[in-house]
A and B are shown apart, each in its own frame.
Chain A
Amino acid sequence: MSDTKVVKSEAPKSNKSFDVGSWLIPIIAVLTAMFLAALLMKAQGSNPITAYKSLFKTAFGSLSGIGATLGKSTPLVLSGLAVAIGLRAGLFNIGAQGQLLSGALAAAWAGVSFHGLPGYIHIPIALIIGAFFGSVVAGISGFLKAYRGVHEVITTIMLNSIVMGIADYLASHQLREPDQFLTRTAEIQPSAKMPVYAHLPLGFFIAVALALFIWWILGRTTSGFRIETVGRNRHAAWYAGVSVKRTVISAMLISGAIAGLGGAVETLGITYRYAPAFNLGLGFDGITIALLGRVHPLGIIPGAILIGGMRAGAANMQFDSGVAPELVDLLMALILLLVTAPLITRFFKNSSNKSMTSGWGS
């Protein structure tokens, strides 16, 4: 209605994209989280210094270590990117996990089933198939949101579990590795395995290229403008002629495709097959990484490398210091809490959409 007298207690966000002060905060959050986790480790009787040393040495101390790190970081970059694109459109896609899984399984199937293809055809096809299935899963949530007003937080989480169930079933029946009791698919054809150049996985560079592409789309194209506008003020977007329904569905499809791609890369580049009970929690990782990188397509990359490194070094850390690999999960949780503390929520405060919770019944 008329001038609402909302008290704005901070200066408006500048248009500069590189604001040093606010990029400091994620760094502080990470360091603080590590400190708090160290306290917990001490309480458990382990030596935090040994643990962190081992963790980082394995992850970054050698070329093969860096390779492993980048390998683990790739799906993280992609799931972070998936969540970030959703958030930009005002959508909370927690379903990156399920979308990733469907992509992983689909890529595994494509990797096993197609014979006699050269690598440079087989790999892209498998990746595209993975992305496709990821976007189908996300599309369900997108459609329900756009046309039934159902909030995507719930549908994406529910779909996570449904997809896990379906994938588990398929991996133990139709797609199971022949003559095996384990629930998993056969190993993919050599032509489908993603190449590694001097320890460095191709998948990582694909992910970075995709991040750059998304950054360009958001900043420079009309599609990006539509997504950003819907995310910030869907009423004004409608006024401006943007179809909110179409944008919501597109954003979810893109988000799902990126997550599915993440799963496909994981299969083709690291595990070389689909085995369930893998990547539990990767979806939530995506949220932490997206927020840690301040929902910026490029900001996600350093966070993903950090977390990827920690996961890569976790096994050795347990060996050297006895600290369980789940420490990394705990660290992620703490980082998320600290990163979203009052100072950082500026990004969301600038959104005119009252909150992302609109959608229960609208």
Chain B
Amino acid sequence: MSALLEVNGITKRYPGVVANDNVSLTVNAGEVVALLGENGAGKSTLLKAVFGLIKPDSGEIKISGTPIVFGDTAGVISRGVGMVHQHFQLVPVMTVAENLILGDEPKRGLFINQKSAREEIITLSKRYGLEVDPDAVIEDLPVGMQQRVEILKALRKDVKLLILDEPTAVLTPQEIDELLAVIRNLAKSGVGVVLITHKLHEVMAVADRVVVLRGGKLVGTTSPKETDEAGLAQMMVGRSVVLQVNRTEAKRGAVVLEVKGLEVRDDRKIMSVKGVDLTLHKGEILGVAGVEGNGQRELVEAICGMRHREAGEVMINGVATKDMNPHSVHEAGISHVPEDREKHGLVASYTIADNLVLNQFDQEPYAKGWVRNLGEVAKNATDLVEKFDIRTPSAFNTAGSLSGGNKQKVVVARELSEELPVLIAAQPTRGVDVGSIEFIHNQLIAARDKGAGVLLVSAELDEVLSLADRIAVMSDGKIVAIVESKAADRNYIGRLMAGLKG
């Protein structure tokens, strides 16, 4: 019997990078194959090739023995391949039912047969034990529920091969365990599962085989029986990776940032920060742990003056900051590494040099009154590119030409170079290669050691555990606990993140 999925020698090039370099792998029915690799290793590209969304430069892909045709996503889907995407492929304003039937709608003449759609969904969700409400609107659902819909979408087609792309990024530790159980059950029922991830303990928990990608190449296959997390990390990165950052004891000083009773609404006018109090001291890293979507983004934006405060105060060194005025908040002494670097952190068509002074363009020495001092801007650029090891042929190339990790380095370089009393770093290593992650972590510690107060907001619990001196856990818009990191217990924090009482 031929393998469910056969990938033979796939190569795909983009300008400047080889995303996939002669990658081959097979997946059989009933087995869970983990596709492991750090960000940028080529996992997503491979996936898109399997679905016919992009055309490989060479190689072929076979499903149950038959090759696929580029562009014929519907064909791939009809042959029993389903995917649960990292960024959900759901239409936010439509209902669960509409999303599930999209592309293959039950019909009555020219019209959609709403009744049979609903019946189908109820049957489907009972069969796999994934309850959903067909009439609920997607954007109103919690993330875990949205993911259920995403999974059901894949399962609807009598799927033989299910691919999950980084499914646990938005889940609490408990939800992750539930998901892994679902995966194991699916495999038992004969479905082949490909789990794409960079989370080592998930791999160890659920995979039958592990395939490791690095820099577009397949560097090895193994299984949980044959190795451990450290071994996997080494294969992923190609060298010994320090999984824990070395840091000295914090020298905590006076309070530098104080947040009292903060209430903030999100883009949909729903209250997402529901009364937050925080104090940040000089010389410490306060980590805010929590699954994304619990108000962290709105919290950071409100503190930095980018989002309206419904209630509450933000004070720097005892002085209250203005609402909705990022310029004055910056002047008051807050540096901000934003969560969405493409949207807020950089102007892609500006040079790296201009990006390095993006929020300082009207300050000395980069401007004297009305007129900019381009010489100083250039000097600053050359300095920072070297100091922060930003990989680029020239500081005057556009920022858009950089890789994700280097883009993030530009933002970090800019924010750290001012040496302001407060640094707020939101998801600072998301989408960044491991080498740059280490670098950025070290920079954050260095800033702390120089006396800055660092507020680190991250959905990666490991990052918070390894960097923070104190840990605040954010769940459903509130800070539910603040603990010293020495006393922190991973499970305890995980339960808090999930909204349980610990």
Q: Does a CB–CB distance below 8 Å link A and B in the complex?
A: yes
Complex contact A239–B404 (CB within 8 A): no
Is there a chain B Cβ closer than 8 Å to A223's Cβ? yes
Contact status of A236 and B345, CB under 8 A, knowing A2-B430, A2-B431, A12-B401: yes
**Set of chain B residues within 8 Å of A14, measured between Cβ atoms:** 397
| Chain A 224-257 interface 0/1 with B at a Cβ cutoff of 8 Å (1 = within) | 0100010011011111111100000000000000
Question: Of the candidates A3, A5, A12, A238, which one forms a contact with B400 in the assembled complex, judged by CB atoms under 8 Å apart?
Answer: A12
Q: Does B350 contact A (CB under 8 A)?
A: yes
Contact between B326 and A235 (Cβ–Cβ < 8 Å)? no
CB distance from B1 to the nearest CB of A (A): 34
Roughly how many angstroms separate A232 CA and B372 CA in the complex, as a whole number?
A: 19
Question: Which residues of chain A are within 8 angstroms of B155 by Cβ–Cβ distance?
Answer: none
Asked if B64 lies at the interface with its beta carbon under 8 angstroms from chain A, I say no
Q: How many contacting A-B pairs (Cβ < 8 A)?
A: 105
Partner of A15, one of B304, B327, B367, B396: B396
Say whether A240 contacts B358, CB under 8 Å: yes
Q: Are B343 and A350 in contact (CB under 8 A)?
A: no
In the complex, which residue of chain A has the Cβ closest to the Cβ of B407? A3
Cα separation A243 to B349 with both chains bound (whole Å): 20
B372 CB contacts on chain A under 8 angstroms: 220-222, 225
With a cutoff of 8 Å between Cβ atoms, the chain A residues found around residue B345 in the complex are: 236, 239
Is B111 at the interface (CB under 8 A from chain A)? no
CA–CA, A220 to B376, complex, Å? 13
Q: Render B294-308 as a binary contact track against A, CB cut-off 8 A, 1 for contact.
A: 000000000010100
Question: B115: shortest Cβ distance to chain A, in Å?
Answer: 34
Separation in Å of the B405 CB from the closest CB of chain A?
Answer: 9
Q: Is A121 an interface residue (CB 8 A)?
A: no
Residues of B within 8 A of A350 (CB): 348-349, 398, 400
Q: Per a CB cutoff under 8 Å, which of A222, A235, A240 touches B367?
A: A222
Most chain A CB inside 10 Å of its own CB: which residue of B326, B344, B349, B362: B349
Q: Which chain B residues lie closer than 8 Å to A237 at the CB level?
A: 347
Q: A3-B431, A13-B398, A15-B351 are in contact. Are A236 and B343 (CB under 8 A)?
A: yes
The reply to whether B358 and A222 form a contact with Cβ atoms under 8 Å apart is no
Residues of A with C-beta under 8 A to B336? 239
Q: Provide the B322-343 mask, 1 if CB < 8 A to any CB of A, else 0.
A: 0000111010000010101011
Contact B347 A236 (CB under 8 A): yes
A4 to B362, CA, bound (A): 30
> What residue of chain A has the Cβ atom nearest to residue B401's Cβ?
A12
Contact B330 A241 (CB under 8 A): yes
Most interface-central of A3, A11, A223, A225 (chain B CB within 10 A): A3
B87 at the interface (CB under 8 A from A): yes
Closest to A230 in B: B347
Shortest C-beta distance, A285 to chain B (Å), equals 27
Say whether B22 faces chain A, with CB atoms less than 8 Å apart. Answer: no
Task: Tell me the chain B residues, 19-70 only, with Cβ under 8 Å from chain A.
Answer: 39-40, 44-45, 54
Specify which chain B residues have a CB less than 8 angstroms from the CB of A225 in the assembled complex. Answer: 354, 361-362, 372
Complex-state Cα separation, A221 to B327, whole angstroms? 18
Contact B358 A236 (CB under 8 A): yes
A15 in contact with B343 (CB, 8 Å): no
- Shortest CB distance B304–A (Å): 8
| A239 and B344 within 8 A (CB) | yes
- List which B253-303 residues lie within 8 A (CB) of chain A: none
Choice from A229, A233, A241 contacting B327 with Cβ under 8 Å: A241
Complex contacts, B348 vs chain A, CB 8 Å: 232-233, 350, 352
Pick from B14, B398, B404: contact of A3, CB under 8 Å:
B404
Whole-angstrom CA separation of A351 from B400 in the bound complex: 10
Whole-angstrom CA separation of A240 from B374 in the bound complex: 18
Task: Check if B347 sits within 8 Å of A12, measured CB to CB.
Answer: no
Which A residues are CB-close (under 8 A) to B359?
A: 239-241
Nearest CB on B from A352, distance (A): 5
Minimal beta-carbon separation of B368 from chain A (angstroms): 10
Q: Which of A15, A222, A233, A235 contacts B398 (CB 8 A)?
A: A15
* Residues of B contacting A4 in the complex (Cβ-Cβ under 8 angstroms): 342
Is A343 an interface residue when CB atoms closer than 8 A count as contact? no
B residues near A13, Cβ cutoff 8 Å? 349, 398
Residue of B nearest to A217 (CB): B370
Cα distance A5–B87 when bound, in Å?
12
**A350-B351 Cα distance, complex, nearest whole Å:** 12
A334 to chain B, nearest CB (A): 29
Q: How far is the CA of A240 from the CA of B304 in the complex (A)?
A: 11
B346 at the interface (CB under 8 A from A): yes
Most buried by A among B350, B396, B400: B350
- Known contacts A13-B349, A229-B347; is-contact A8 B15 (Cβ 8 Å): yes
A220: B residues at CB distance < 8 A: 371-372, 374
> Which residue of the partner chain, among B45, B54, B343, contacts A235 with CB atoms under 8 Å?
B343
A138 to B336, CA, bound (A): 35
Which B residues touch A221, using CB under 8 A?
370-372
Q: For B358, what are the chain A residues with a Cβ–Cβ distance below 8 Å?
A: 229, 236, 239-240
Give the docked Cα–Cα distance between A225 and B370 (Å). 10
Distance of A280 from chain B, by nearest CB (Å)? 36
Most buried by B among A8, A225, A239, A350: A239
Do residues B361 and A222 form an inter-chain contact, with CB atoms below 8 A?
yes
- Determine the chain B residues whose CB is within 8 A of the CB of A15 once the complex forms: 351, 396-398
Known contacts A3-B404, A12-B401, A350-B400: A239-B350 contact under CB 8 Å: no
The contact string, 1 if C-beta is below 8 Å from chain B, for chain A 38-78, is 00000000000000000000000000000000000000000
**Contacting residues, chain A, for B354 (C-beta < 8 A):** 225
Q: A238-B306, A239-B345 are in contact. List 20 more A-B contacts (CB 8 A).
A: A2-B430, A4-B342, A8-B15, A8-B400, A10-B15, A11-B15, A14-B397, A221-B372, A222-B370, A222-B372, A225-B354, A225-B372, A235-B343, A236-B343, A239-B306, A241-B327, A241-B362, A242-B327, A350-B349, A352-B343
* 23 pairs, A vs B, C-beta closer than 8 Å: A1-B340, A3-B39, A5-B44, A7-B54, A8-B14, A12-B401, A220-B371, A220-B372, A221-B372, A222-B367, A233-B347, A233-B348, A235-B343, A236-B343, A236-B346, A236-B347, A239-B344, A240-B358, A240-B361, A241-B328, A243-B327, A351-B349, A352-B342
- A residues bordering B, Cβ < 8 Å? 1-5, 7-15, 220-223, 225, 229, 232-233, 235-243, 350-352
In order of increasing CB-CB distance, the 10 nearest A-B pairs are A241-B327, A3-B431, A350-B349, A2-B431, A240-B359, A239-B344, A12-B401, A3-B404, A222-B362, A12-B398
